Amino acid sequence: MSAKHEMSTSRTAPEAISPLAEAWTVFRRNKPAMFGLFLLFSIIAFVLYGTFLYTGDPFDIVWAPHTMPSEEAAFPLGTDYLGRDLLAGLLTGGGPTLAVGAVAALITVVIGIAVGALSGYFGGWVDDLLMRITEFFQVLPALLFAMVLVTLFSPSLVTIALAIGVVSWPQTARLTRAEFLKIRELEYVTAARSIGARNNRIMWKVILPNALPPLIVSATLTVGVAILFEAGLSFLGLGDPNTMSWGLMIGSNRSYIIEAWWPVTFPGIAIFLTVFAVSLVGDGLNDAFNPKLRER
Amino acid sequence: MAGPLLAIRDLKVEFSTRHGPITALDGISLDVMPGETLGIVGESGCGKSITALAAMGLVPNPPGKVSGGAILFDGEDITRANDARMRQLRGAEISMIFQEPMTSLNPVFTAGDQIAEAIMLHQNVTAAEAWTKAVDLLKLVGIPEAERRASAYPHELSGGMRQRVMIAMAISCRPKVLIADEPTTALDVTVQAQIFDLMRDIQAEFGVALVLITHDMGAIAEMADRVAVMYAGRVVEEGNADAILDHPLHPYTRGLIDCIPALGKVDANADVMPPLAEIPGVVPPLHLLGKGCAFADRCPLVEAGCRDSRPEMTGDKHRVACFVTGSKA
pLDDT score at A9:
47
Residue B109 to chain A, least CA–CA distance (Å)? 8
Q: Residue B142 in 3-state DSSP?
A: coil
Q: What is the mean pLDDT of residues B46-60?
A: 86
pLDDT at B115 over 80: yes
Kindly give the residue spans of alpha helices, DSSP state H, lying in A153-261: 157-183, 187-194, 199-201, 208-235, 246-253
- Using an 8 Å CB-CB cutoff, list chain B residues near A7: 142-144, 160-161, 164, 194
Peptide bond into B62 cis (omega under 30): yes
Are the Cβ atoms of A5 and B158 closer than 8 angstroms?
A: no
Region B60-67: what's the mean pLDDT? 81
pLDDT of B135: 93
Residue B313 makes CB contacts below 8 A (sequence gap 6+) with: B29, B235, B238, B319, B320, B321
| Beta-carbon count within 10 A of B304 CB | 7
Mean of pLDDT values over A190-217: 88
Rounded Cα–Cα distance for residues B236 and B252 (Å): 8
Nearest to A235 by CA among A244, A225, A246, A224: A246
Tens of pLDDT, residue by residue over A67-113, are 777 777 777 788 887 888 888 888 888 888 889 889 999 999 999 99
Nearest-CA distance A109 → chain B (Å): 21
Q: Give dist(CA B325, CA B327) in Å, integer.
A: 6
- Per-residue model confidence as pLDDT tens digits over A77-86: 888 878 888 8
Nearest CA to A119 out of A205, A189, A206, A178 is that of A178
User: How far apart are alpha carbons B265 and A108 in whole angstroms?
Assistant: 68
From chain A, pick out residues whose CB is under 8 angstroms from the CB of B105.
188, 191
Largest CA distance in chain A: 89
**Closest chain A CA to residue B138:** A2
Report the C-alpha gap between B312 and B323 in whole angstroms: 8
CB distance B237 to B40 below 8 Å: no
B47-56, B190-199, B276-285: the lowest-pLDDT one: B276-285
B197 with B21: CB under 8 angstroms?
A: no
- To test the contact with chain B by mutation, choose from A4, A6, A7, A15 the residue with the greatest count of B C-beta atoms within 10 A, namely A7
> In this predicted structure, what is the pLDDT of residue A1?
44
Q: What is the pLDDT of residue B266?
A: 58
Contact call for A5 and B142, based on CB within 8 A: yes
Query: What are the backbone angles phi and psi of residue B132, rounded to the nearest 5°?
Result: -60, -45
pLDDT band at A296 (very low <50, low <70, confident <90, very high): very low
Selected for mutation to probe chain B from A4, A127, A188 (highest B CB count within 10 Å) is A188
ipTM tops the 0.95 cut: no
User: Which residues of B, range 142-161, sit inside 8 Å of A by Cβ?
Assistant: 142-145, 148-149, 151-153, 156, 158, 160-161
> Taking the CB of residue A290, how many other CB atoms lie within 10 A of it?
15
- Nearest-angstrom CA–CA distance, B72 and B70: 6
Which residues in chain A touch residue B83, judged by CB atoms under 8 angstroms apart?
198
For residue B88, the chain A residue with the least C-alpha distance is A196
Nearest C-alpha in B relative to A211: B108
Sign (positive or negative) of CA dihedral A208, A210, A213, A218: negative
- What would the mean pLDDT of B307-321 be, rounded to a whole number? 82
Looking at the predicted structure, is the pLDDT value of residue A118 above 70?
yes
Contact between chains at B105 and A9 (C-beta distance less than 8 A)? no
pTM, two decimals, is: 0.80
Nearest-CA distance A207 → chain B (Å): 9
- β-bridge pairing B209-214 and B37-41: parallel
Q: Which of B73, B78, B108, B174 to mutate to test the interface with A (most CBs of A within 10 A)?
A: B108
A13 vs B180: which has the higher pLDDT: B180
| Over residues A136-159, mean pLDDT | 87
Whether B90 sits inside 8 A of A1 (CB atoms) is no
* Interior angle at CA A165, CA A162 and CA A167, nearest 5: 110
Å between A111 CA and nearest CA of chain B? 24
Mean of pLDDT values over B231-248: 87
Q: pLDDT tens for residues B183-222?
A: 888 788 888 888 888 888 888 888 899 999 988 888 888 8
Q: Cβ neighbours of residue A33 under 8 Å, at least 6 residues apart?
A: A27, A280, A281, A283, A284, A285, A287, A288
Q: Which amino acid is at A94?
A: G
What is the rounded CA–CA span in Å between residue B277 and residue B80? Answer: 44
The whole-angstrom distance between B131's CA and the closest CA on chain A is 16
Per residue in A252-267, pLDDT (tens digit) is: 888 888 888 888 888 8
Beta-carbon contacts of A42 under 8 Å, excluding residues fewer than 6 positions away, are none
Residue B140 contacts A where some CB pair is shorter than 8 Å: yes
**Could you tell me the pLDDT band of residue B64, with boundaries at 50, 70 and 90?**
confident
Yes or no, beta carbons of A187 and B100 under 8 Å apart: yes
The whole-number pLDDT of residue A4 equals: 47
Assess contact for B173 and B95: CB atoms under 8 A: yes
A139 part of contact set with chain B, CB < 8 Å: no
Chosen for mutation from A11, A190, A194 (greatest number of chain B CBs closer than 10 Å) is A194
Q: Is the pLDDT of residue B273 over 70?
A: no
Q: Is B197 on the interface with A (CB under 8 A)?
A: yes
Smallest Cβ distance to A191: which of B104, B139, B197? B104
At residue B270 the predicted structure's pLDDT band, cuts being 50, 70 and 90, is low
Q: Is the pLDDT of residue B58 over 60?
A: yes
Nearest-angstrom CA–CA distance, A98 and A102: 6
Window A:193-212, CB contacts with B under 8 Å: 193-198, 205-206, 209-210
Between A181 and B312, the higher pLDDT residue: A181
Whole-number pLDDT of residue B303: 80
Residue A163: how many CB atoms within 10 A of its CB?
28
> What is residue B306's DSSP assignment?
G
pLDDT for the residue B265: 56
* H-assigned helices in chain B: 48-55, 83-89, 111-122, 127-140, 146-149, 159-170, 189-206, 217-223, 241-246, 251-258, 323-326
Predicted confidence at residue B263, as pLDDT, reads 59
Q: Which residues of A touch B205 (CB under 8 A)?
A: 1
Contacts of B87 in chain A (CB under 8 A): 196-198
Check residue A70 and give its pLDDT: 77
Q: Would you call B256 exposed, middle or buried from its count of C-beta atoms within 10 A (0-12, 13-18, 19+)?
A: buried
Q: Residue B272: what pLDDT? A: 67
Tell me whether residue B282 is exposed, middle or buried, using C-beta atoms within 10 angstroms of its C-beta: 0 to 12, 13 to 18, 19 or more: exposed
pLDDT of residue A217: 85
Q: Report the distance separating Cα A274 and Cα A271, nearest Å.
A: 5
Neighbours of B247 (CB within 10 A): 12
Q: Please give the pLDDT value at position A291.
A: 56
pLDDT tens digit string along B22-37?
888 888 888 898 889 9
pLDDT-derived band at A134, boundaries 50, 70, 90:
very high
> ω before B63 within 30° of 0 (cis)?
yes
- The pLDDT of residue A14 is 55
Q: Which residues of B touch A4 (CB under 8 A)?
A: 142, 197, 201
Q: Is the pLDDT of residue B329 over 50?
A: no
CB pairs under 8 A between A and B: 116
A5 has pLDDT over 60: no
User: Span A177-200, mean pLDDT?
Assistant: 89
Residue B318: what pLDDT? 85
Give percent above pLDDT 90 in chain A.
Answer: 25
Given the DSSP bridges, would you call strands B226-231 and B234-240 parallel, antiparallel or unpaired? antiparallel
Instruction: Note whether A188 contacts B92, CB cutoff 8 Å.
Output: no
| Closest C-alpha to B54, from B216, B163, B177, B174 | B177
Higher pLDDT, B8 or B275: B8
Length of chain B in terms of residues written: 329
pLDDT value, residue A283: 86
Q: Of the given ranges (A258-272, B82-96, B155-169, B278-292), which has the lowest mean pLDDT?
A: B278-292
User: What's the pLDDT score for residue A294?
Assistant: 47
The yes-or-no verdict on residue B15 having pLDDT over 60 is yes
Residue A6 has pLDDT above 60, yes or no: no
Alpha helix ranges (H) inside chain A: 19-29, 31-48, 86-122, 124-139, 142-152, 157-183, 187-194, 199-201, 208-235, 246-253, 262-289, 291-294
* CA pair distance B160, B140, nearest whole angstrom: 14
pLDDT at A16: 64
Partner residue facing B140 (CB), from A2, A191, A196: A2
In DSSP terms, B209 is beta-bridged to B177
User: B282 vs chain A: nearest CA distance in angstroms?
Assistant: 26
Q: Work out the percent of chain B whose per-residue pLDDT is above 70.
A: 95
Cβ contact (<8 Å) for A196 and B197?
Answer: no
